[in-house]
Amino acid sequence: MAGQLIAETTSSVWGAEGASGKGVLASGETRVAGWAFMNQRIITGGTLLKAVAPHTESFERFRILTGSLNGHFALIVYTGTEIWLACSLSRNYPLFYARKEQSFWAGDSPLVYLRREGSLPPDGEAHLYFLQFGVTPAARTLARGLRQVRPGETVRLTQEGTEKHYFSPDAPANPARQEKKPSSGAITGRKSKADMPLPSAEEDTAALIRRVFARYVPYLTQHKILLPLTGGYDSRLLACLLKEAGHKEVLCATWGRPGNQESAAARSLAEKLGFPHLNVDYTPELISRTFQDPRFGEYIDFAGHLSSMPFLQDFPAIRHLLECGAISPGTRVLPGHPGDFLRGSHLYSGLPEENPDRLFKAVVTRFGTSYPMGRTAMKNVAATFRQEFPFSPGSATETFRNWDLEERQCKLITNSVMAFEFFGLQPVMPLYDPELIRHFGALPFSLQLGGLHYFKTLNSRFFRKYKCELPLPGNNHHSHPWRPFREWLIRTAPHRFKQLWYPVCDDVAYREMTAVLMRQNPERRYRHPDKNHFYNCYLTQWYLFRAEEQIK
């Protein structure tokens, strides 16, 4: 018996033939969001739609197309008997689907589906995982039966109630969950370690970075650029690349606690490059006024979508910059994602190649929110981790990097660009280019560790030219025999002691933002993180309270 298929989109970012892309798709209709490279140029909107249309005659052609596209995009095709969904590796435009008996729903808003179908049972395992990492695992969401398209995934839903999953070669993938296995290099797309090239010299890596960035220059030309500039390496690299490209309409902006260290470093760099710089001070008045704006609740639903923790740090600044006229809708934004992944900043020498339990502990230590969790609950999270990211002896580094790319970079950190999308800005992330991910992923582990190759290349081939080199970070990427004892002390120390020990004046002003949100519902009780300055622990709890009310 054939089931019903419904596909719909609600956001104005979606384009359809002669329409805005809102509402239920008609039979034979295709919708697109974002942009992609074709014939060495970036195409968007109607142009992208026309380029995709010839590839929707069969699912095989569609799958081949989505596996080869480079860009920040999402695609939906409704043939009348099937729904095809595709999401780029960057996951700028999340997609979701749900099955009820033999019927499927697919779209960009889980809340629309909940309003259509009523309440769904919560996914308790996903809730625990969310508290620990700020995202739901793999394809799951906080609601049981409601699923998300994973980064780099293409999904086929049929009237017979079946679904099939495919991953592009450059996407993280779980071989047990897909029809066509990617190459064994997983996130790197390489055939085998034996086929990997020898380490590239700094000049070769620099040439690749410049060649990749040159592809994006036409899309940036004749548009104002907002560069969120900090004192770190990644945004500094983008600033130097914009200077080399001769782009004039660049506004560098830094936001956070008044007088924070990032602002001074960013202002100094902007002056050296000849770019204007604005600083947005996160005063208590600005934070309070921002979170009282009715649009803030709309943004939380837009960016959280029952699967990812909404980022707060950019929302007040973007709102302020638009209000004061410094930027306008359509401005291109260049975040530095995922520079920390490229340089391997979270890798360390003690990764346990033979022990899946220790590997999970390494992931929690490096990426966890520091949410205090009992032994039974933590075992539950570990079982979910092993189920969604299977481990085989000798593959710990690959599993670690796959998890980092999909769960942390694509679904958590890059989810911050939803704030730009919400206000009608256009985020562009050249460092997310698959060619760069392949290149840095193919480097020997010794060069990835501590970002050695990345940092040296940027200093010698980009920063030195403008006299803005940064000191190389110290070597703190080795495991230490005292680490377990230190972690135990942190977990067991009284909260008052942690408040005295840990700094509370972070550069972003997270302490003030979380305090405002937590005061909105004083009857709710929050658990304190093991590490007092881990404010994401409070934010995940705050969002989970909100999501649980929406799921019921």
Q: What is the three-state SS of 349-409?
A: CCCCCCCHHHHHHHHHHHHCCCCCCCHHHHHHHHHHHHHHCCCCCCCHHHHHHHHHHHHHH
Quote the crossing angle between the two packed helices 536-551 and 294-304, to the nearest 10°. Answer: 90
Omega into 338 within 30° of 0, i.e. cis?
yes
pLDDT in tens, 274-305: 999 999 999 999 999 999 999 999 999 999 99
Residue 176 has pLDDT above 90, yes or no: no
Assess whether 178 and 224 both reside in one domain: no
Query: What pLDDT score does 491 carry?
Result: 63
Query: What pLDDT score does 483 carry?
Result: 58
Query: What pLDDT score does 360 carry?
Result: 93
Residue 471 has pLDDT above 60, yes or no: yes
Instruction: Report residue 552's pLDDT band, with 50, 70 and 90 as the boundaries.
Output: confident
Highest mean pLDDT among 184-188, 224-228, 353-357, 548-552: 224-228
pLDDT in tens, 13-22: 898 765 677 8
Assess whether 108 and 252 both reside in one domain: no
CATH number at residue 222: 3.40.50.620
Assess whether 40 and 135 both reside in one domain: yes
Q: How many residues does the chain have?
A: 552
What's the whole-number mean pLDDT along residues 94-115?
Answer: 94
Query: What pLDDT score does 481 carry?
Result: 55
Q: How many domains are contained in the chain? A: 2
In 174-331 the beta strands, taken as DSSP E runs, fall at: 225-228, 250-256, 277-281
Is beta strand 82-87 parallel, antiparallel or unpaired with respect to 153-158? antiparallel
Query: What pLDDT score does 186 carry?
Result: 33
DSSP labels for 77-118? EE-SSEEEEEE-TT-SS--EEEEETTEEEEES-HHHHHHHH-
Residue 209 has pLDDT above 80, yes or no: yes
Residue 304, in any domain of the structure: yes
Query: What pLDDT score does 187 carry?
Result: 33
Question: How many angstroms separate the CA atoms of 6 and 230, rounded?
Answer: 44
Query: What pLDDT score does 84 carry?
Result: 98
Residue 193 has pLDDT above 50, yes or no: no
What's the whole-number mean pLDDT along residues 327-333?
Answer: 96
Query: What pLDDT score does 498 carry?
Result: 56
Assess whether 220 and 145 both reside in one domain: no
Residue 199 has pLDDT above 50, yes or no: no
Is beta strand 103-107 parallel, antiparallel or unpaired with respect to 96-100? antiparallel
CA distances from 168 to 190, 199, 259, 441 (A): 12, 25, 44, 16
Question: How many angstroms separate the CA atoms of 251 and 50, rounded?
Answer: 33
Residue 77 has pLDDT above 70, yes or no: yes
Assess whether 138 and 216 both reside in one domain: no
Please report where in the chains the tokens 């520079």 appear, as a residue: 339
CATH number at residue 38: 3.60.20
pLDDT in tens, 34-58: 999 988 889 999 999 999 999 999 9
Query: What pLDDT score does 109 carry?
Result: 95
What's the whole-number mean pLDDT along residues 377-392?
Answer: 93
Kindly state the percentage of the chain with pLDDT values over 90.
70
Q: How far is CA 205 from the centre of its chain?
A: 24
- Which among 188, 217, 236 is the end of a domain? 188
Residue 54, in any domain of the structure: yes
Assess whether 179 and 207 both reside in one domain: no
Residue 208, in any domain of the structure: yes
Residue 404, in any domain of the structure: no
Instruction: Report residue 477's pLDDT band, with 50, 70 and 90 as the boundaries.
Output: low
Assess whether 163 and 45 both reside in one domain: yes
Assess whether 234 and 151 both reside in one domain: no
Residue 128 has pLDDT above 90, yes or no: yes
Residue 136 has pLDDT above 90, yes or no: yes
pLDDT in tens, 242-257: 999 999 999 999 999 9
325: containing domain: 202-341+415-466
Model confidence pTM above 0.85: yes
Query: What pLDDT score does 327 carry?
Result: 97
Assess whether 334 and 461 both reside in one domain: yes
- Which among 156, 188, 220 is the end of a domain? 188
Residue 369, in any domain of the structure: no
Query: What pLDDT score does 415 carry?
Result: 95
pLDDT in tens, 508-527: 899 899 999 999 899 999 99
Residue 27 has pLDDT above 70, yes or no: yes
Instruction: Please provide the average confidence, as pLDDT, over all residues in the chain.
Output: 88
Query: What pLDDT score does 345 carry?
Result: 82
- Which among 397, 432, 466 is the end of a domain? 466
Query: What pLDDT score does 175 carry?
Result: 40
- Do 169 and 183 meet the contact criterion of CB atoms below 8 Å apart? yes
Who has greater pLDDT, 118 or 66? 66
